[in-house]
Amino acid sequence: MDLRVAVIVVHIASAAVILGAPLGITGLIRKALELDLPALRLAADEGVRRARTTGIASMVTLWSGVGLIFLMGGFKIAPLNYHIALGLMFAAVLLSALVLRPAMIAIWRTTRTETPDRGLIERSLKRMGMFQGIVHLLWVCLLILMFHRIAH
């Protein structure tokens, strides 16, 4: 197996982790919110773990994508769809870092108190739900770009 194929496998596998890891976490926290504090804390811990996993996978995906561009000869040779996809990936990473991660951390922090702020948790879950939808839309666009070449 050559280096390009190995990097493609890593790239696709890490992208799959990004898509799958955060799925269902808002529902899990909502259900735990109806239960007791230990369940809520456990759900928040799971959310932070999944966020960390998604963050690592996003960096692997981003840098393996850049590596693939260099393996094909650099940005000058890379087709237009790769440039657009890289920009969308940066946007998804920024949204995750600036919106999703802080919302999950806010949930986790309030679950560490004796009386968690239910309003804060519900607001954070709404924000997370909305922005996860936006990030997943960006991912659909990325997947389309990877399978469709744009003429330059």
Residue 35: inside a domain, yes or no? yes
Q: Tokens 């087709």 identify what position?
A: 79
In-domain check, residue 152: no
Q: Are 88 and 142 in contact (CB under 8 A)?
A: yes
Domain containing residue 27:
3-147
pLDDT digits (tens, 9 = 90+) for 121-146: 999 999 999 999 999 899 889 888 88
- In this predicted model, what pLDDT tens digit does every residue of 62-99 receive, in sequence order? 999 999 999 999 999 998 888 999 999 999 999 999 99
Alpha-carbon distance of 6 to 126, in angstroms, equals 38
> Is there a domain that residue 110 lies in?
yes
Residues contacting residue 121 through CB under 8 Å, at least 6 positions apart: 29, 33, 40, 107, 110, 111
- Calpha distance 148→122 (Å, rounded): 39
Q: What's the domain count of the chain? A: 1
Q: Which of the four pLDDT bands, split at 50, 70 and 90, describes residue 151?
A: low
Query: Which one-letter DSSP state was computed for residue 99?
Result: I
pLDDT of residue 30: 96
Residue 98 within any structural domain of the chain: yes
Region for 77 from its dihedrals, namely left if φ exceeds 0, alpha if ψ lies in -120 to 50, beta otherwise: alpha
Residue 47 to residue 122: CA distance in whole angstroms: 14
